[in-house]
Amino acid sequence: MSRRYRNNYRDDPYGKEDTLRKRNSGAWNYQSILCGYVFNILNISRLNESCAMLACSVIPKERLLPLLQEGAKLVERELESDDALREELEDTLLNSDKPSLPAKPDAAALFAVIDSSEHRDKLISVLQTELIMLADEYNQLNGSSSFQELEKLAAAFELDIEDRNILQCLYLIELVEELNDVVSDWTIRDFFTGISTAIGLSEYEVQTRLSPRAKLIKYELVDERWGRNNTFGVSNQTFAFLSITARENPQDMFLDSVPLDETYPLESFGVAPESTNAILEFLSRTGSNNILLFGKEGTGKTEYAKSLCKARGKKLVRFSDPSVKNRNDSSVLNLILAIQSIPTEEYILLVDEAEEILSTKANSFFSFFGARESSKSRVNELLDFAKCPIIWIVNSTAGIDDSTLRRFCFAEEFRSLTPAIIRGFTQQYLASIPLSQAAREKIIALAGRLRLNASSVRYIRDSLNSMLKEAGNQETLPDDAVLSRVRAVFESNVRLLTGEVPNACTTVDEYDLDILNTSVDARTILDAVRRAGERRIPARFLFTGASGTGKTEFARYIAETVGRTLTVKQASDILSPWVGMSESNVASIFRDAERDGSVLFIDEADSFFYDRAGAARSWERTLVNEFLTRIENFSGVLICATNAPDRLDAAFERRFHQTVQFGALDIDAIPRILRRYFPTVHFTEEDLFDLYTCGQLTPGDVGALAGRIALFSDPSAITAQYVVRELRK
């Protein structure tokens, strides 16, 4: 096999010029170990091209020259039949005036001649004697210092001396190019013979320790090299770890202490108290206790982990490893090493953004970027035998194999933060900032309305602290400047995350339940929704009535009052021209609302709740069936609205706990809504009666007129007669 040769022999082989490792004298005496490997390999290997280059690379050139001269003299008679080689050697090695080392191909050719001669054993003996002397010199120079990185691996994976010796040998084969060239010529049988000879272990023992269930293979410290000879080598992550010198303690390298000075009360996250208590119980134990927090980003998972740790009275450390971000196979290895370095009694480990580590499904997204199914066994072993409690945080469990999921003793899903939770976070973050009570209340209300996350609230706290510092730490920041800054920061964050900024006006501040004309008292409905949330039972309502009677606004008021987000869906969000897509949209809408804990409001329900008896196409029936199934299984608050209840399938009405009819404004509601929209206009009893007798006046009619007047007219010039006339049109 043709080889590429280095131009020069090494002056100081494996000293300080190795490009892969730069070790100071005494850091690891692997030169002596390599001499031992070459000594033993010479006993079983032919003096072929690769073996010749290995010997030449180990022995310094000033000591190699006399050895080669002695070898050339041994085969002087044989060289007479090879004119070309003899002429080359006479110009270099056999030059009586100024002998020098021959070119490496000529040296390899000389070894080949010696190997086929009767003097082979003599030269091997000379080479081995030199290797013994070199090993002794390296020992005297460097001592017997241990391979610290290998010792750390051995401790982490509980490797015995035989496993360590095999791993060390395979690492040097990977590291030293000439040794790798020798091994690449071996068959799998030669490989086991060569490794056993090099490290002084039986072939059977080497085969046993490289079997699939052995530690070296199971933990992926060593992997099989599929190719011409199917030999074994250290895995990429093992090589990367062993090849970095002067490593710090793994605890200093991969773990960051997490401050617990600012944490939220555990009850402020919306997690059921019984779930929090169970997690705290698991975290109080020693040994392998894995907690999984999952859900969409920005829902408070990391903050909850910090609060758990503080409540448990333990220190929290976060695993931080660049190889995780780069999808490097070293991440699991580094995590194992970090776990081994943690004092188990007083610490809890946090592994944030853990998808890259836990993605053990063969067809997961991260597997496309290099995750292998074989990594599953090592991740599962890590979960089974971790020596401290670990909190794992992921946004999705989709890429995690079922066998891995079963190893978590508790899992908690985090949904979108409700307005009530966001308001609580905001109130706590603003507690130390000198604000007027009015400004504080407006900021808290705005944060809940804009559906922010905990990070956004933290940003505004930091921004207001900067304002306070710029203002010379005055007693109270001016309201106008504060609210302007808050709105700018909040809206920037919301626009970045959602692509839009919702109306910052709240329904709760202005809403008047007494304006509604409903068949069931509005406060009764609101109490029922509150009760459903407390008892964690479903609540399903069907709102019917003409457009403008207040169905949508009342649904928004319900959501804001109970501290939840209102998810509004219409026909355009559900219906699709593609077969099966409408049904898929229905499933997704209910699933997302269930996950986020939002109030689901489906407007224009008659667009897809139509009577199946009149369905002309099969997909119309399947869409209705999909809705029926999803409504039946939905455990949250569902409100559907329609102005054509007679078109609904009869099975739908049975699915709702209460049907609520919304009517036009009654005689008592008309003056109340007029005072709300036109506070400066005086209406007589005759005006009010005139509006009532029209019989069809709705809250939407009054609101639309108020908006039109604000846009096109001077509000101060508006009269009662004008309002009455416009409303009666």
Sign, CA dihedral 366-369-375-378, equals negative
Half-sphere exposure of 217 (CA within 13 A, CB side): 13
Specify whether the CB–CB gap between 145 and 26 falls below 8 A: yes
Query: Which of 380-389, 448-457, 476-485 has the largest mean confidence?
Result: 380-389
Residue 11: predicted pLDDT:
46
- Give the span between the Cα atoms of 475 and 241, in whole angstroms: 55
Strand partners, 680: none
Indicate the range of 54-68, 126-140, 198-212, 714-728 predicted with least confidence: 714-728
Please tell me the predicted confidence (pLDDT) of residue 367. 46
- Specify the pLDDT at position 249: 61
Given a contact cutoff of 8 angstroms between Cβ atoms, the answer to whether 518 and 542 are in contact is no
Q: Is the pLDDT of residue 539 over 90?
A: yes
Tens digits of residue pLDDT in 172-197: 998 888 898 899 888 889 999 999 99
d(CA 107, CA 113): 10
Q: What is the pLDDT of residue 248?
A: 55
255-360+372-414 falls under which CATH superfamily?
P-loop containing nucleotide triphosphate hydrolases (3.40.50.300)
| SS3 of residue 51 by DSSP | helix
What pLDDT sits at residue 170?
94
Contacts of 567 (CB under 8 A, 6+ apart): 589, 592, 593, 596, 598, 599, 600, 601
Residue 509 pLDDT: 52
* DSSP string of 537-606, one letter each residue: --EEEEEEE-TTSSHHHHHHHHHHHTT--EEEE-HHHH--SSTTHHHHHHHHHHHHHHHHTPEEEE-SGG
Both tokens assigned to 658: 């209460």
Please state whether the predicted TM-score (pTM) of the whole model is above 0.75.
no
**List of residues 6+ apart from 85 with CB closer than 8 A:** 79, 106, 109, 110, 113
Spell out the residues 6+ positions from residue 173 whose beta carbon is closer than 8 angstroms to its own.
179, 180, 183, 233
Asked if pLDDT for residue 198 goes beyond 70, the answer is yes
Residue 13 has pLDDT above 50, yes or no: no
Separation between Cα atoms, residue 163 and residue 330, nearest integer Å:
20
Q: What is the assigned CATH class of domain 143-243?
A: mainly alpha
Structure confidence at residue 679 as a pLDDT band (50, 70, 90): confident
* 3-class DSSP assignment, residue 127: helix
Class of residue 69 by CB neighbours under 10 A (exposed 0-12, middle 13-18, buried 19+) = middle
Confidence of residue 715 (pLDDT cuts 50, 70, 90): low
Tokens representing 184 are 């690449």
Integer CA distances (angstroms), 704 to 400, 652, 676, in order: 52, 32, 13
Give how far the C-alpha of residue 124 lies from the chain's centroid of Cα atoms, to the nearest Å: 56
Q: What is the pLDDT confidence band of residue 3, given thresholds at 50, 70 and 90?
A: very low
User: Which of 91-105 are b and which e, b meaning 16 or more Cβ less than 10 Å from the residue's Cβ?
Assistant: ebbbeeeebebbebb
Give Cα separations from 117 to 1, 46, 72, 112, 122 (angstroms). 21, 12, 12, 9, 10
Give mean pLDDT, residues 227-251. Answer: 72
Using the structure block, give the residue that is written with the tokens 């409100």.
639
Mean pLDDT (the chain) is 81
The arithmetic mean of pLDDT across residues 351-364, rounded, is 79
**Contact between residue 448 and residue 492 where contact means Cβ atoms under 8 Å apart:** no
Cα 630 to the center of its chain, rounded Å: 30
Do 587 and 260 meet the contact criterion of CB atoms below 8 Å apart? no
Higher per-residue pLDDT: 501 or 314: 314
* Residue 507, pLDDT above cutoff 60: no
> What distance in Å separates the CA atoms of residue 219 and residue 210, rounded to the nearest whole number?
11
Do 599 and 565 meet the contact criterion of CB atoms below 8 Å apart?
Answer: yes
**What distance in Å separates the CA atoms of residue 540 and residue 374, rounded to the nearest whole number?**
47
The number of angstroms, rounded, from the C-alpha of 464 to the middle of its chain's C-alpha atoms is 31
**What would the two tokens of residue 208 be?**
């046993």
Which secondary-structure segment (H or E) carries 726? helix 720-728
Distance (Å, whole) CA 290 – CA 123? 61
Distance CA 122, CA 102 (A): 21
Count of Cβ atoms closer than 10 Å to residue 190 Cβ: 16
Q: Distance between CA 648 and CA 605 in Å, rounded?
A: 8
Q: What is the pLDDT of residue 696?
A: 85
What are the counts of helices (DSSP H) followed by strands (DSSP E) for the chain? 37, 13
More confident residue, 249 or 121: 121
Residue 654 token pair: 């049975």
pLDDT at position 698 over 60: yes
Token pair recorded at residue 438: 């009015």
pLDDT of residue 416: 72
Q: Which residue has the tokens 């080889």?
A: 3
What share of the chain in percent tops pLDDT 90?
A: 26
In whole angstroms, what is the distance from residue 724 CA to residue 729 CA? 9
d(CA 79, CA 86): 6
User: Residue 499: which residues within 8 A CB-CB, separation 6 or more?
Assistant: none
In one-letter notation, the amino acid at residue 704 is A
pLDDT tens digits, 134-187: 888 887 776 655 688 888 888 878 899 999 999 999 999 988 888 988 998 888
What does the pLDDT look like over 545-589, one tens digit per residue? 999 999 999 998 998 888 788 888 887 788 777 767 888 888 888
CA separation for the pair 108, 235 (Å, rounded): 31
Output the six-digit token pair for 586. 């229905």
Asked if 668 contacts 632 with a C-beta cutoff of 8 angstroms, the reply is no
Asked whether 546 and 585 are in contact (CB, 8 A), the reply is no
Chain centroid to CA 282: 23
Handedness of CA 78, 84, 88, 90 (dihedral sign): positive
Q: And the tokens for 641? A: 């609205």
Instruction: Identify whether the C-beta of residue 257 lies closer than 8 Å to the C-beta of residue 306.
Output: no
The residue whose two tokens read 């070296």 is 216
Residue 525 banded pLDDT, cuts 50, 70, 90: very high
Q: In 324-414, at which residue ranges do the beta strands (DSSP E only) sit?
A: 347-351, 390-394, 410-414
509-661 to CATH, choices 3.40.50.300, 3.30.360.10, 3.20.20.70, 3.40.50.150:
3.40.50.300
Tell me the helix, strand and coil percentages in the chain, rounded to 5. Answer: 55, 10, 35
Over residues 27-55, mean pLDDT = 85
Grade residue 129 by pLDDT with cuts at 50, 70 and 90. Answer: very high
- Over its C-alpha atoms, the chain yields an Rg (Å, rounded) of 39
Q: What is the pLDDT of residue 443?
A: 82
What does the alpha-carbon distance between residue 22 and residue 236 come to, in Å, rounded to a whole number?
19
